[in-house]
Structure 1
Amino acid sequence: MPRAKERKQKPKGDPPLVVPVLQKFLKTYQKHCLLSRTSLCPAIQRDLKNSIDRDQILRKFMLVRAGDSTTNHLPVSLEPLLMTIRDESYTQGKEICIWGLQLTNPEIARLALFLESKGHTICPLTTLDIINCKMDLWSLGRLGKALQFSSLHFLVLDYCKFGNEELESILSGLENNQRLQGLSLRYCGLGPQSGPKLGSVISQSAICELHVDGNHLQCSGTLALLRPIAEYAEIQGKDQPTSTSPHAGNPPLLPQVCLGGSSTLSQISKSSKAVTVKRTSQRKRGERGMGKKVKRLMEAGPWVVTLHLADNSIDRMGKEGEQLPELTRTLTCLIKYSTHLKEIDLGNNVLGEMTAVDILEALRARKTGKLPPLKITVSPRISSDTFISIWKISKKSNRTSKKKKKVNSLLSVWLSSSHKGALDEACASVEMGLFLRHSHTG
């Protein structure tokens, strides 16, 4: 008989001698902090020590403030971390998360140079999170220019307040970008005037996962964002046969759109060759949002897979509310025809009963057309019949499905076949309760 292995082998992706590499990294980081008269980041120091204890590589660097802001602590700076990554040629880091810092121009300049190295960068970052940070207009413009040449796949700028000029500085680096696929601008103070800018960027880039929850796009801003996506979906739905059935196990095909096109579909050339590529990965979503796996360039064009518009003051109130009927037509067009859209969150927006009924009819038309299932979230401030109908026809979350399967497996042991119908009804009630709780808290 073959001899049993005494110890479990490490994954092939882990490099040898992890502990000495991380120990040296920590010493170099401490040295750069001392030379620059800045404070050690407690989170980075903790994560490095934990990785050393577990003999695991560190892929994510979390940069946060040190101690209580009322005491006389030295500031935490981004520069020592980037200098350490450079000096140690640390190639395993994939994500940098900067939380709650006042970022200076020199820090952003070094970060920009770090991102602009593109394929030759020492640290091939795929994800950059800058959350609740303060940056001036020059820093935002410099960062925006760097995005044109970076290898980033996901960019998170949540809770960073942007005016019109600041937003334009950031988005200028995303036009014709075929690498960035996820963009999060949650609670950034975006108003209706931000909608056309976002719609233009979506039309001319490979971004297919957009999170703009907690802003004030209202009806006009949301309409400007959705219009190019919906028009493109309608053209594709009417001019081309329905894609592969969602139950066949194949993801929908992604179209290639001419680069440099305008934000409206009337100016996109229909005569371009229909080149399609399969999705390189399926995004696995954690609690905070963005997926992490991307293997190659995606195709640019006005289509999205995940769209979060929760809490954006979309309602019938005031002058903005006059555009709700047109927004409803655009939204339902997107639902009926988009073969790429898999998830849309409209929670905490008071859409009203008429809009909800139109969404329900669009979902039924989508199901009749055998398009991929769509997970949609709406506010429960509509009639219970319409809300339940939308919930039933929309795609259920994997988490809820797993819970239902677990309940079934536990109870089916002792439930007889005569109680099977009661079991299904009970599971549906539990599933509905979970969904309602998510809608009220989302």
Structure 2
Amino acid sequence: MAKKGKKGKGGKKKSKRVKWDDDADIFQRKFLKTYYEQCEFDKSLPCVWLEKALKQGIEDRLYARKFIIEELEVGEKDAQIPPVRLKPVLRSIRNERFVHVHEICAWDLETEHSEIADLALLLEKGFYPVRRVELMDCDLQFFSVARLAKSFRVSNLVEINLDYNEFGDQGCAGFCNGLKGNRIMLSVSLCYCELTRESGVLLGQVLRTTAVREFYLDGNKLGCEGIVEMLRHAASHAEAEHYKRIEEERLKALMMTEGAMLASDKMIKSQITTDGASTDPGNETALSGAPDDSGKKKKKKKKGKKRKKKEVAPPVVGPYVNILHIADNTIDIYNDGRDNMLFQCIEVLKQIIKFSPNFVELDMDDNVIGNRAAKQLLHALDERKIATLPAIKVRTTAEIEQATYSAIVKYAAGMKKKKKKGKKKKKKK
């Protein structure tokens, strides 16, 4: 007899069937040819990363879903070599109707307004399933941000990252205006964009009126005032919802108690009397002496029926926040007249920590909040734990008492921190 192997009968290994994308090699080979032609026309150097991804996709017969377009390293540059540009990629996608890309990431490029307009036009075509866009350190001007944001209303985007573009409050105003009424976008990243208190007010409107749940705002100048303006509605809403849940649970417990009492009364009434008869008129089997159904065999469930997939509910619009990164945002105790404002800011954060079950991550690193404020945050974390709300990750500055810092660090396990980039490249002249 043949010995049985671990992976099947008779020692035969079960072969895994490789899934390919239909004609992925053909379409990507055609796209790469168009991309080279477009690069020559636009006087752009082809992106090395994108070339490798497409060639690998051709070899594996799988579509490259993520496009990363990045400039060459400084040491690899030559004055006579043209720069890597975004335009050839976008034009190639549109010319070939390449509907297989889900992410477009541009890093360290010098972009023109016309290129951002091309990207916006691409996103406005609903048949392109682009779900995520990154334009990091791409010299975006405020008017380019406003043009890109106009596409949000009709695009499929759920995540946008515009880190390291110093477009300031004016650019943030155009960005937030494009998000009005949006029910799809879930994550926004505007780190190191020169945002101030005015942007805090605008972002507060986004938080209240859209489905955005994740805000990455490190390296700005929102300050205590900006954070308070952004979060005060979310904080008060979280507290109101908390007490509403408590009241609902109390009423539910009361109804269950009343139901148990009614069931107990019914059981007493239906007990068999001393002469052997039942006082329950509906209990005919007890009177006739007929056997009950407990001895009958249960019907077997029919096999082969597939379980229905649970329908995913759309994101809820309202003042809810899940992730908040506000590291290095001048939230400190050293500015004149800011001490009172700091504790207003901490009070707002405490409300969200204590009462919001959806809030899972807070990064306040590189903000000198002092021992007193840090202890208040720790107290809120302890209250959240007592209330058995879901776990939360919190990071704060190390410039506080060791005991308080060590206690807060326990809550920061597993939190990823964005790396701060070095000096920005020179702007175009």
Q: Same fold (TM over 0.5)?
A: yes
Count of residues in Structure 1 that have an aligned counterpart in Structure 2 = 351
Consecutive unaligned residues in structure 1, runs of 5 or more: 245-279, 282-294, 400-437
Correspondences of 1:6-405 after superposition (within 5 Å): 7-11=15-19, 14-66=20-72, 71-118=79-126, 121=127, 123-241=128-246, 297-318=314-335, 319-392=337-410, 394=411, 396-397=413-414
Distance 1:84 1:6, change over 3 A: farther
Inter-partner Cα distance in structure 1 for 2:78 and 2:248: 59
Give the stretch that moved more between structures: 24-33 or 316-325: 316-325
Q: CA deviation at 1:82?
A: 2.0
TM-score (norm 2): 0.75
Inter-partner Cα distance in structure 1 for 2:42 and 2:401: 61
Aligned to 2:263: none
Inter-partner Cα distance in structure 2 for 1:235 and 1:219: 23
Aligned to 1:259: none
Q: CA deviation at 1:240?
A: 2.3
Distance 1:137 1:381, change over 3 A: closer
Distance 1:296 1:132, change over 3 A: farther
Distance 1:59 1:243, change over 3 A: farther
Name the SS for the 1:387 alignment partner: helix
Aligned to 2:425: none
Inter-partner Cα distance in structure 2 for 1:110 and 1:387: 48
Q: CA deviation at 1:191?
A: 1.7
> Could you tell me which amino acid in structure 1 is paired with residue 135 of structure 2?
I
Inter-partner Cα distance in structure 2 for 1:89 and 1:166: 31
* 8 A contact 2:169–2:198 mirrored in 1: yes
Q: CA deviation at 1:26?
A: 0.8
* 8 A contact 1:314–1:349 mirrored in 2: yes
Name the SS for the 2:385 alignment partner: helix
Inter-partner Cα distance in structure 2 for 1:363 and 1:384: 17
* 8 A contact 1:51–1:58 mirrored in 2: yes
- 1:218-245 CA distances to partner (integer Å, 9 max, x unpaired)? 111121122121111111112223999x
TM-score (norm 1): 0.73
* 8 A contact 2:21–2:61 mirrored in 1: no
Q: CA deviation at 1:137?
A: 3.5
> Could you tell me which amino acid in structure 2 is paired with residue 323 of structure 1?
M
Larger Rg: 2
* 8 A contact 1:66–1:73 mirrored in 2: no
- 1:344-376 CA distances to partner (integer Å, 9 max, x unpaired)? 111111111111111111111111212111111
* Percent identity of paired positions between Structure 1 and Structure 2: 31
* 8 A contact 1:380–1:439 mirrored in 2: no
Give the stretch that moved more between structures: 100-109 or 164-173: 100-109
> Could you tell me which amino acid in structure 1 is paired with residue 349 of structure 2?
L
Name the SS for the 2:197 alignment partner: coil
Aligned to 1:420: none
Inter-partner Cα distance in structure 2 for 1:97 and 1:238: 43
> Could you tell me which amino acid in structure 2 is paired with residue 126 of structure 1?
R
Name the SS for the 2:204 alignment partner: helix
* 8 A contact 1:350–1:379 mirrored in 2: yes
Give the stretch that moved more between structures: 170-179 or 51-60: 51-60
Consecutive unaligned residues in structure 2, runs of 5 or more: 1-8, 250-308, 422-429
Aligned to 1:273: none
Inter-partner Cα distance in structure 2 for 1:36 and 1:380: 50
> Could you tell me which amino acid in structure 1 is paired with residue 413 of structure 2?
K
Q: CA deviation at 1:50?
A: 3.0
Inter-partner Cα distance in structure 1 for 2:371 and 2:161: 34
Inter-partner Cα distance in structure 2 for 1:441 and 1:100: 14
Distance 1:35 1:5, change over 3 A: farther
* 8 A contact 1:147–1:173 mirrored in 2: yes
Q: CA deviation at 1:382?
A: 1.2
